[in-house]
Amino acid sequence: MTEPSMQSGTLQWKWVGITICLYAVFYLVPLFLLGGISVTFMGVWFFTGIIIIAAVAGYLSPGVTILEPAIAGAGLILLFFLTAFVTAPFKGTIFQAIIPLVIVMAIVFFLSLLGAWLGERAQKLWKTNSEKPA
């Protein structure tokens, strides 16, 4: 009998949480530390960092976890926007804040899907090849 987290078709909420932590540490910290120094780094890392972190999460997780990093990425953006909305004064309607939020969440969601898919492909390729007897 297989472990419940190994079954396909079920969402592994544990990996959503783990991926949010990975994003917080390895994605947001470099953006905050180096973003003010290099605008180029910030622009490149905004896109590639999402893909890389999602790929690492997809590779490290047991079974197939493609949707989990995407949910974590969108959730991280939602948390970031809510934090910014609460801490900074906002002049405008709530709809002026929601449209950019939805756009950025969609971008991060799809970049995370791409990264998680790449991580799962790497997991399938490298982990199965390393487990074969020589």
Taking the CA of residue 90 as centre, how many other CA atoms within 13 Å lie in the half-sphere pointing to its CB?
14
Q: Encode burial over 4-20: b for 16+ CB neighbours within 10 A, e otherwise.
A: eeeeeeeebeebbebbb
Q: 58 versus 132: which is more confidently predicted?
A: 58
Domain residue extents for the chain = 11-131
Q: What is the mean pLDDT of the chain?
A: 86
Is residue 1 within 8 A of residue 36, CB to CB? The reply is no
Report the pLDDT averaged over residues 106-127.
Answer: 94
Is residue 58 within 8 A of residue 123, CB to CB? The reply is yes
Q: How confident is the model at residue 8 (pLDDT cuts 50, 70, 90)?
A: low
Is residue 31 within 8 A of residue 42, CB to CB? The reply is yes
Q: 10 versus 7: which is more confidently predicted?
A: 10
